[in-house]
Structure 1
Amino acid sequence: MAGLADLDATALVQALDAKRVSAVELLKAALARHEETHASLNAVVNADLERAFERARAIDDLRFKGAPVGPLAGVPMTIKDTLDVVGMPASSGLADYRRRQCEDAVAVALARKAGAVIWGKTNVPVLAADWQSFNGLYGATNNPWDLARTPGGSSGGAAAALAARVTPLEIGSDIGGSLRIPASFCGVFSHKPTWGMVSQRGHVPPRPGSFVERDLNVVGPMARSARDLRLLLSVIEDGPLAPKAPPMDLRTARIGVWLDEPAFPLDPEVREVVAAFARDIGAAGAAVEPIPAPVDARALLQAYQTLLGAVLGEDLPPGALRRMETTRPLARLALRRGAGPLSLAAMTLAYTARHTDWMAADAVRARLRHEISGVFDRFDAILAPVAPVPAFPHDHRTFQQRWLMPSDGRKIAYNTLLTWISLATALRLPATVVPAGRTSGGLPVGVQLIGPQGGDGRLLALAQALDERVRSFEPPPAFA
């Protein structure tokens, strides 16, 4: 049926309930779109079609009989390849992880219980540890706005598949911007929930079979509309979010705009897109006010690096950790001599953090969480950039060899991608990414709306109002 790819998940559910289309037809349409785009994008890298068609036929039968069905019944969707799916174990870019049996990750099981027809897995970097989505198992995923550029990572395959309208919904994850940066780079929506709201069980890393709910990491929804974020989160979260609640009245919204931070670089073109979006929100009736950094940005970044390194260090090969341990004294000396918080020395200390280092960083986090509570007494959300640059060209060299090149000709460290996403991650706050506009070169730019702990419902209501009244998803021209 023509036009199915243009519909978001909410509209697809309405079409299914009205029996204007069947689950089998929707699945066939998704697969046809995948076939059209796969050679260019390489976004969906694994599939289980036999199980998917069996599921779609069963849902169609239930609807025909008038039996009750779930809120996602018949909607085809893909899952980030860091989440286990029956028949498609999470590889996280590693062949050994793919060769095993698994159960559905908790979030996946909840989506399936709600009736979703899960048919494919989307590409990621190895162990979800990069802002580009490529690995030796499945290769590189391209950005549908410019095939020479990355869609971001680690949920890069998910964002590319959404933007190219291969799938209407995705479940991704975020510990270092992995939901937010790909959404910004590809012009789609994502939501990083309050930490602990959605179970991480079945996410890889950590190693398969782990029961650990890792610090900082979250599992969350991605979509082409804010209302779809609300729908999917209401299914996979631990507690109802009332997805049918109305969007926020923008005339009551109070938004603090955080755009200028000396410690966090920002491409002038990205800044202008975000500033213009903030002006448009004000014109739509919201109270919009520039604000300084809501917390001490340098203290935030240093604490975040230690907290993040302590988590990611567990995934490093033992030999690599031992080698880093031997360089700890030199790293400390480099920091005393002026090495910056995003330097190799700082990252070395983060990856080899002692428990006392983690406790000190956690104490800083607690202080900053207390300080930011006053900001949310004044504002419903903080509006901020997601990344210092738009989508950048593929670069598969080592991290130390990579640089970002903003439009003003500067050369900034690759790790500065950690900067703008650090506030919500380190302080365990919810953050919703919505499309803000495009650069002069046509690349999409997203903004993140950061809210108070547990304020996910109100944040998503604001995002839905912005989606409906200010800026919504636009397909990449080459994939329209």
Structure 2
Amino acid sequence: MSENVKNFKPNFSQETILNMDAISIANAIKSEKITSFEVVSTFIEHAKKINPLINAIVEDRYDAAISEALEKDNQTEKADKGPLFGVPISVKEAFQVANMKMTGGLVSRKHLIAREDAKVIKKLKSAGAIILGKTNTPMLCFCQETDNKLYGRTNNPWDVTRTPGGSSGGEGALLGAGGAAAGIGSDIGGSIRFPSHFNGVVGFKPGKFQVSADGHFPSNSHALQERMSGMGPMGKSVRDMELLYGIIADTPPAEQSLDDVNIEILSEDTNVPLSKKTKDMLDRMEQFLRTSFSVNRSIPPYFGSSARLWQEIMSMDGGREMEKLVFNNDRLNVLAAYAKEKLTKKTQIHPFLSWALIGAKLFKPSASRTREIENIVEQGDDRLADYLKNRLLIFPVYHTGAPTHGKVYQEIFSIRKTFLQYMPYVAYANVWGLPSLTIPAGTDENEMPIGVQIISMNGNESAIFQLGKIVEDNVRGYVRSMKLD
């Protein structure tokens, strides 16, 4: 394999290939303007160059990817060629991929090999995608930063001293640097949207129950958590997100018109922190959208309560199921593990996870509060189904672009409940099980990417993607970081 990769000369320049989205690559391969071998080889060589600096790929399958690319190039013209034919993608470590590890970042699981593909992986392979490798996550995907004791920390390709976000942080970092054409992540608390926002990539969190979670580790332990979770694509264009979502969704979205759609941009009067650069970006977006749409600034129902509801739902069982996964063969309990790690830094449990599990115990709702939450959610679903019928919401993702490593963790997991200040923007779509598209829309004070979310209800995905393409064409869109080239 190494000699083939070393000696090939693509018809397209390396920079052109790395900047292409999945649809462009698939079309070029099908029209024989380029081979899958040339594309896959280009991405592999680039990934091998950048990965030592960002630590995004934790397990590769480069030899297998090259073999699969050659097989596709040798197929006859009459062969069935799916929409992702020959396209190299990456996969969040949390998804089962046959014959690859599935660890959740736990040292205790470092030798566990998946026997079969997760359902979404089967669908992507059937569409012709070629998997390059699996990307890093925090332990058990339980943090909005990406670091664990097994694989270490992932860095942002725009500035390696800054976080790529999490839990799909390896995906965000790799795609931000152009290390794959597209990828697949998961999101129960901003885990697709944080990395998309921080690394300048496009990401889509599907609404509740739209994409199968079969083969994702860890699984959700409570029905309310299941509705908050979404398995979705990440990549370089809105049209790719629409394509990939159509492939992995149980029911592809129906076509819609934007003729009667109202756009609501989140008001500044939320008492939630937001940087001046982000405020300016939203103001500019409002101005250009007003030329074609009805646009208002408002605060949607339940915005003020969603961050608390998110934390309580995440803490429904006090972290018991995750604690079993972590400490099943360990004499330490979570408090002892956290204290020992802080003192010695020699445990197998990252403090991000142990502190999050402690927080789950502290914030576990009582039985009466749980019933109250269930009632709030039931009533809220009905109200939002009516409110969002012909309405698209535009939110920020976070109050700043990517901060230095550890800052997001400090802001969200503080004992002072500062998650109430910093989680509302992303928690809203999770609590109410809403589809949300993140699009790069500018840069912050440190020249780091910042994005916006377009949110609505299940069934309005087509409208979300249509507006997303308009935003993408008029603001920043995906720009590959070339700082590591």
TM category, shorter: 0.7 to 0.9
Amino acid at match of 1:32: E
Q: Counterpart in 2 of 1:336?
A: none
Q: Counterpart in 2 of 1:236?
A: 248
**1:353-404: per-residue Cα shift (whole Å, max 9, x none)?**
355433321211222222333432452x10011112210101289758977x
Instruction: Decide whether the 8 Å contact of 1:303 with 1:362 is kept in 2.
Output: no
Against the structure 1 CA distance between its residues 311 and 267, is the aligned structure 2 distance closer, same or farther, given a 3 Å change threshold? farther
Alignment partner of 1:97 out of 109, 112, 128: 109
Q: Counterpart in 2 of 1:357?
A: 369
Q: Counterpart in 1 of 2:288?
A: 280
Does 1:131 find its partner at 2:144?
yes
Alignment partner of 2:399 out of 388, 391, 400: 388
Q: Counterpart in 1 of 2:237?
A: 225
Amino acid at match of 1:265: P
What is the Cα deviation at residue 460 of structure 1?
A: 1.5
Alignment partner of 1:118 out of 122, 131, 138: 131
Instruction: Decide whether the 8 Å contact of 1:256 with 1:382 is kept in 2.
Output: yes
**1:265-297: per-residue Cα shift (whole Å, max 9, x none)?**
2233322223323323334x2332111x21133
Q: Counterpart in 2 of 1:413?
A: 418
Q: Counterpart in 1 of 2:49?
A: 36
Alignment partner of 1:436 out of 435, 441, 453: 441
Equivalent-residue separation in structure 1 for 2:406 and 2:309 (angstroms) = 28
Q: Counterpart in 1 of 2:182?
A: 169
Alignment partner of 2:74 out of 38, 58, 61: 61
Instruction: Decide whether the 8 Å contact of 1:152 with 1:391 is kept in 2.
Output: yes
Equivalent-residue separation in structure 2 for 1:211 and 1:371 (angstroms) = 20
Equivalent-residue separation in structure 2 for 1:18 and 1:10 (angstroms) = 12
Alignment partner of 2:167 out of 148, 154, 162: 154
Equivalent-residue separation in structure 2 for 1:52 and 1:207 (angstroms) = 31
Amino acid at match of 2:396: P
Instruction: Decide whether the 8 Å contact of 1:321 with 1:352 is kept in 2.
Output: no
Q: Counterpart in 2 of 1:332?
A: none
Does 1:373 find its partner at 2:404?
no
Against the structure 1 CA distance between its residues 82 and 396, is the aligned structure 2 distance closer, same or farther, given a 3 Å change threshold? farther
Equivalent-residue separation in structure 2 for 1:345 and 1:144 (angstroms) = 29
Equivalent-residue separation in structure 2 for 1:97 and 1:346 (angstroms) = 22
TM-score, normalised by the number of residues in structure 2: 0.83
Amino acid at match of 2:266: W
Q: Report the 3-state secondary structure (helix = DSSP H, G, I; strand = E; otherwise coil) of the residue aligned with 1:420.
A: helix
Q: Counterpart in 1 of 2:430?
A: 425
Q: Counterpart in 1 of 2:347?
A: none
What is the Cα deviation at residue 37 of structure 1?
A: 1.0
Q: Counterpart in 2 of 1:203?
A: 216
Q: Report the 3-state secondary structure (helix = DSSP H, G, I; strand = E; otherwise coil) of the residue aligned with 1:14.
A: helix
Instruction: Decide whether the 8 Å contact of 1:273 with 1:445 is kept in 2.
Output: no
Against the structure 1 CA distance between its residues 457 and 96, is the aligned structure 2 distance closer, same or farther, given a 3 Å change threshold? farther
Equivalent-residue separation in structure 2 for 1:207 and 1:435 (angstroms) = 29
Q: Report the 3-state secondary structure (helix = DSSP H, G, I; strand = E; otherwise coil) of the residue aligned with 1:389.
A: coil
Q: Report the 3-state secondary structure (helix = DSSP H, G, I; strand = E; otherwise coil) of the residue aligned with 2:316.
A: helix
Q: Which 5+ residue runs of structure 2 have no aligned equivalent?
A: 1-9, 337-354
- Of residues 43-52 and 381-390 in structure 1, the stretch that sits farther from structure 2 once superposed is 43-52
Equivalent-residue separation in structure 1 for 2:306 and 2:475 (angstroms) = 31
Amino acid at match of 2:80: P
Equivalent-residue separation in structure 2 for 1:346 and 1:358 (angstroms) = 19
Does 1:264 find its partner at 2:264?
no
Aligned-CA RMSD value: 3.2
Amino acid at match of 1:86: A
Amino acid at match of 1:255: I
Does 1:456 find its partner at 2:467?
no
Equivalent-residue separation in structure 2 for 1:398 and 1:461 (angstroms) = 34
Q: Report the 3-state secondary structure (helix = DSSP H, G, I; strand = E; otherwise coil) of the residue aligned with 1:222.
A: strand
TM-score, normalised by the number of residues in structure 1: 0.84
Q: Percent identity?
A: 26
Instruction: Decide whether the 8 Å contact of 2:253 with 2:459 is kept in 1.
Output: no
Q: Counterpart in 2 of 1:330?
A: none
Q: Counterpart in 1 of 2:297?
A: 290
What is the Cα deviation at residue 11 of structure 1?
A: 0.3
Q: Counterpart in 1 of 2:339?
A: none
Count of equivalent residues: 446
Alignment partner of 1:84 out of 75, 80, 96: 96
